[in-house]
Amino acid sequence: MNQPLILTINIGAIRRISLNRPQARNAQNQQLLDELSAAFEAAKNDDSVRVVILAGEGDHFSAGHDLKEAQEKRANFTVEQRWAYEELRYFDYSMQIWDFPKPTIAQVQGACVAGGFMIANMCDLIVAADDAFFSDPVSQTLATASVEVLIHPWVMGLRKAKEFLYTGMRMTAADAKEIGMVNRVVARQDLETATMELAERIAQAAPFGLKVTKKSLNRSMDVQGLREALSAHFDTHQLSHMTEEFKSIRDKGLSNTIKSSVNKG
């Protein structure tokens, strides 16, 4: 029996769902993602839960997808196999969080990178510690079309998203707040308390009112084409997994490439 890679606790009407692989900077392997999806499904079906906090144990929210596991198990996937794997675990699981019918808050410290950036930005609100940093370096490091869910222009603005993806830069929590991607930045030691206070405030509102408010807010993005754009990008991303550029990087070792990029700067 594997150790659970997701922790869930209830604090009143708040459910805290936490990535629990701190020794691997909460890198998302298959087990963690499957457990994360199951945790959101359980929170959805539990009427006592009004607000969900998505957090990460340890010093980092998440360094992204587990590329060591990807290299070992999926390096030689066919188009069909990779499509099936990434559609379910990266795209559908992400959209499950986006479409989650109750308010969600990402609680972010340390690294929030690539696949970590993707799931944090599926949440309605983000509270970040002052040591948090955001990056999606995979266009630089893996030669793929970003990550599977191109939420970036929707949460950062087009100009900043281009700079962010073209350069693979790190964005500080303060800069992320300035562009409106993050709601609040607090000292690292206050992160959990500040996120809980915000969640408790939201949980005072009537749940059905919140549910339909969220639905309308998300629909205002859908009428601008969010869902179609994300869906189209997923297809393009799959194509970028089959290029000569990607294959040459894969053959050198995915995890080595990303490790040097996460550690740099």
Query: Closest CB to Zn ion belongs to which residue?
Result: 86
Site string for Zn ion, 191-230 (x = CB under 5 A): ----------------------------------------
Minimal distance in Å, beta carbon 185 to Zn ion? 30
Minimal distance in Å, beta carbon 200 to Zn ion? 37
Cβ contacts of 156 within 8 Å, gap of 6 or more: 164, 179, 181
Minimal distance in Å, beta carbon 135 to Zn ion? 17
Minimal distance in Å, beta carbon 112 to Zn ion? 18
Site string for Zn ion, 53-92 (x = CB under 5 A): ---------------------------------x------
Residue 86 or 124: the one with the smaller Cβ distance to Zn ion is 86
Which of 104, 103, 135 has the alpha carbon at shortest distance from 117?
135
Residues touching Zn ion, count (CB under 5 A) = 1
Minimal distance in Å, beta carbon 232 to Zn ion? 15
Minimal distance in Å, beta carbon 138 to Zn ion? 8
Residue 219 or 247: the one with the smaller Cβ distance to Zn ion is 247
Distance, CA of 150 to CA of 135 (rounded, Å) = 13
Cβ contacts of 227 within 8 Å, gap of 6 or more: none
Torsion angle (degrees, nearest 10) of CA 158, 159, 160, 165: 80
Residue 15 or 237: the one with the smaller Cβ distance to Zn ion is 237
Angle CA 153–247–228, to nearest 5? 30
Which tokens sit at 227?
Answer: 């869902």
Residue 114 or 161: the one with the smaller Cβ distance to Zn ion is 114
Residue 21 or 233: the one with the smaller Cβ distance to Zn ion is 233
State how far Cα 202 lies from the chain centre: 22
Which tokens sit at 157?
Answer: 């603005």
Distance, CA of 48 to CA of 231 (rounded, Å) = 33
Minimal distance in Å, beta carbon 169 to Zn ion? 21
List the interface residues with Zn ion, window 81-140 (CB under 5 A).
Answer: 86
Residue 109 or 257: the one with the smaller Cβ distance to Zn ion is 257
Buried b (16+ CB within 10 A) or exposed e, 27-46: bbbbbbbebbbebbeebeee
Q: Which residues bind Zn ion (CB under 5 A)?
A: 86
